[in-house]
Amino acid sequence: MLKGKHIVLGITGGIAAYKSATLIRLLVKRGAEVQVVITPSGKEFITPVTLSALTGKPVICDFFTANTGQWNSHVDIGLWADAMVIAPATACTIGKMANGIADNMLVTTYLSAKAPVFVAPAMDLDMMAHPSTTRNIETLRSYGNHIIEPASGELASHLIGKGRMEEPEKIVEVLEQFFATDKPLAGKKVLLTAGPTYERIDPVRFIGNFSTGKMGYALADAAARMGAEVTLISGPVAIKPNERTVEVVNVESACQMRDAAVEHFPGSDIAIMCAAVADYAPADPHDHKIKRETDEIPTIRLVKNPDIAATLGQMKREGQTLVGFALETDNGKANAERKIRSKNLDMIVLNSLSDPGAGFGTDTNIVTMIQPDGESKTLPLMQKTEVAREIMQAITEIHKS
């Protein structure tokens, strides 16, 4: 898939730059042509000699080659690229890219590039968590750049947390997936629900849950990469899809989510119910903030929310595939199997809150995919993005049969 592809590899000044050599080896092995553009501080971490020996091309760092005066055209490099990969991407370079600060060859090339851009951040956990970095990464996402999320683990500082550049093997996998000509869901419409729902008590309070939407958004991205036209009905979350083609319909409550799902389901081939829908909503939400002026403790009367998956299960026609999720704390498999039948699902994905690394807010998950005939497959602990790909592949197989 990468054979003959022109990859511009941007290297910045982070310790993870040592991994660039492996990344180049892997890309070249797959038949890609690699042109390195490095920042001045990148050269402090890995030498141009190593990089040019591996790519077979001179490394570009400056606007001019000092001894010949030859101009390095960032426009030409940007146009040559089939993909630009910035790995490692430091907080500094990410900030410059987000704000168009073109004071080096790498950022200038980035601004000229017409090709898809992949950014693999690498930094210390506190830098990674800083609102400035978060905002800049979100800005890059909004430009349509693909963020290859850093992994959690031991960092150069010996602190443990999120910020390790993703391994070169993973970066290559992301690129291979992107260039895969095989789009098994081309022409298919996929509907997803994701995130929590908020049920209003009064204008400032709600009943909700800890769902962050990560699994649903990863599934939406995976489906889009497989060629599907994706509609993602999302409860309130702080994330965005990576794939620009994913259409997001924002909702707040279970009833709004049900209305949007019922509207979109008839035109969908596959529907995946990933949302953590609140089971109950306040029966009489107040128009004004409930005040704490008396000693009387208020009682909130609840009513049952609609079951969106079961509603779609009843609407389901021949040829449509409906998939649900089940988050269980105990009796996982038995409960999941019961839900397959009661909601008329074609598959249920069970994740257990008791497994370390699985559930709300984590970047990883452990899931078991269960089909109506009892056939089940448990995946090992993996990044949610990988879990999403495996699940989408399984759903594609079920939809075909």
Residues binding ligand C5P (CB under 6 A):
193, 254, 273-275, 277, 305-309, 324-326, 339
Smallest gap from Cβ 304 to ligand C5P, in A, equals 8
Of residues 93, 99, 101, the one with CA closest to residue 42: 93
Smallest gap from Cβ 254 to ligand C5P, in A, equals 6
Smallest gap from Cβ 325 to ligand C5P, in A, equals 4
3-state secondary structure the chain: CCCCCEEEEEECCCHHHHHHHHHHHHHHHCCCEEEEEECCCHHHCCCHHHHHHHHCCCCECCCECCCCCCECCHHHHHHHCCEEEEEEECHHHHHHHHHCCCCCHHHHHHHHCCCCEEEEECCCHHHHHCHHHHHHHHHHHHCCCEECCCEEEECCCCCEEEEECCCHHHHHHHHHHHHCCCCCCCCCEEEEEECECCEEEECCEEECCCCCCHHHHHHHHHHHHCCCEEEEEECCCCCCCCCCCCEEEECCCHHHHHHHHHHHHHHCCEEEECCECCCEEECCCCCCCCCCCCCCCCCCCEEECCCHHHHHHHHCCCCCEEEEEEEECCCHHHHHHHHHHHCCCCEEEEEECCCCCCCCCCCEECEEEECCCCCEEECCCEEHHHHHHHHHHHHHHHHHC
Residue 351 catalytic? no
Q: Which residue among the candidates 67, 99, 209, 305 is catalytic per the annotation? A: 209
143 burial (CB, 10 Å; 0-12 / 13-18 / 19+) is exposed
CB nearer to ligand C5P: give 35 or 362: 362
CB nearer to ligand C5P: give 37 or 254: 254
CB nearer to ligand C5P: give 27 or 254: 254
Smallest gap from Cβ 240 to ligand C5P, in A, equals 20
Q: Is the dihedral of CA 190, 218, 234, 370 positive or negative?
A: positive
CA-to-CA distance for 278 and 270, rounded, in angstroms? 23
CB nearer to ligand C5P: give 36 or 222: 222
Peptide bond into 88 cis (omega under 30): yes
Instruction: Locate 396 and state its tokens.
Output: 């594609």
Q: Are strands 229-234 and 189-194 parallel, antiparallel or unpaired?
A: parallel
CB nearer to ligand C5P: give 168 or 332: 332
Residues contacting residue 294 through CB under 8 Å, at least 6 positions apart: none
Residue numbers annotated as active site: 209
